[in-house]
Amino acid sequence: MSDTRVDRFVRSHLKTRHLVLLVELGRNGSILHAAQAANLTQPAASKLLSELEHALSVPLFDRLPRGVVPTCYGEVLIRRAGAALAEMDAAHQEIMELLSGLSGRVAIGTVMTPSISLLPQTVRLLKLRFPRVQVSICVDSSKTLVARLRKGELDMVIGRILDSESANELNFEPLSDEPHSLIVRADHPLAKTSDLHLEKLIEEGWIMPPAGSILRDRLTALFLARGLDQPGITVETTALPMITNLLIGSDMIAALPEELVRPYLDIGLLTVLPYDLGLRMDCYGIVTRRKYKLSPGAQAMLTILREVAANLQNQLKLDGMSTFSAAVEAGQK
């Protein structure tokens, strides 16, 4: 089929039910179940799918004895169909917002560290200025969040762009490179040791992120670069409540951003070991879709997020200057 004919089909004949069917086929892997989810009969669903494949002149799904699996062409169309449906939902939401004043809903995803301080401060300020805006927050890995962003399920993400394929579709505003420290309970036997070595530290129990995560890979590389084996006593988890409870109740060690456990550090339950891992993660930041206009509520969230992030950065600089001045004064006494 010529490009002109494809364009004519897409503009004149492609309907919302085609998009809904594609998304449900990707979700269910079965024409029968997808038809039921899309409120269609199975013959009608099969006809719609055949229309799409004939119009595009490519197979969208491989038919298997127990269902269907999207081809590489089908995966592209499913992702785009999901984004198109999300756009229509967003358009309806935006119209309702314009009719009733700034309200609506904003969906934001974040990796763990910004969920402790940056995002709560942002949400509190948003609610003070625009109390009718409803906020949905998802805390997950960057890979999962960015995939949901590309599908139109999230308005923005605080995280990392980890693959070049999605980078061309996204905007990225850097925020922090997230330095990590070694965190232990306040009265840990090594807490007041001034001459710590990594060879000694790996003899302790460690709370580690799961294999395959960015932090785990960085820690593994760090140990290998020193010619050391991996810690022999480990617990794998990314659940912050579990991590903090294990740290407080044992002599285990965890490599974490200090911001993540700041309340525990401030009240003296946890402390930072006097050892510089030299470990920094790839920078996380604000991720949005290119060529996509945010709803008024989401735009308000983005504006306040940038404002709060700038204030936190300025506060960190001031804290750093105060610490440096105090060290200089102590040295002069």
CB 255 within 8 A of CB 202: no
Of 318, 264, 267, 304, the closest CA to residue 121 belongs to 304
What strands lie across the sheet with 156-159, from one edge to the other? 134-139, 105-110, 156-159, 284-289, 170-176
CA distance 87 to 294: 10
Alpha-carbon gap, residue 1 to 296, rounded angstroms? 41
| Cβ 35 vs Cβ 42: under 8 Å | yes
* For residues 11-21, average pLDDT: 77
- Least confident range from 77-81, 200-204, 210-214, 227-231: namely 210-214
Residue 119 CA to residue 125 CA, distance in Å, equals 10
Six token digits for residue 211: 């294999």
The confidence score (pLDDT) of residue 121 equals 94
* pLDDT tens digits, one per residue of 90-129: 777 767 665 555 567 899 999 988 998 899 999 999 999 8
Q: How many CB atoms lie within 10 A of CB 249?
A: 9
Q: On the CB side of 299, how many CA atoms lie within 13 Å of its CA? A: 9
Q: Show the domains of the chain with their CATH numbers.
A: 3-79 (1.10.10.10), 101-177+283-322 (3.40.190.10), 181-272 (3.40.190.10)
- Span 287-321, pLDDT tens digits: 999 988 888 889 899 999 999 999 888 776 655 44
Q: Do residues 140 and 239 touch, judged by C-beta distance below 8 A?
A: no
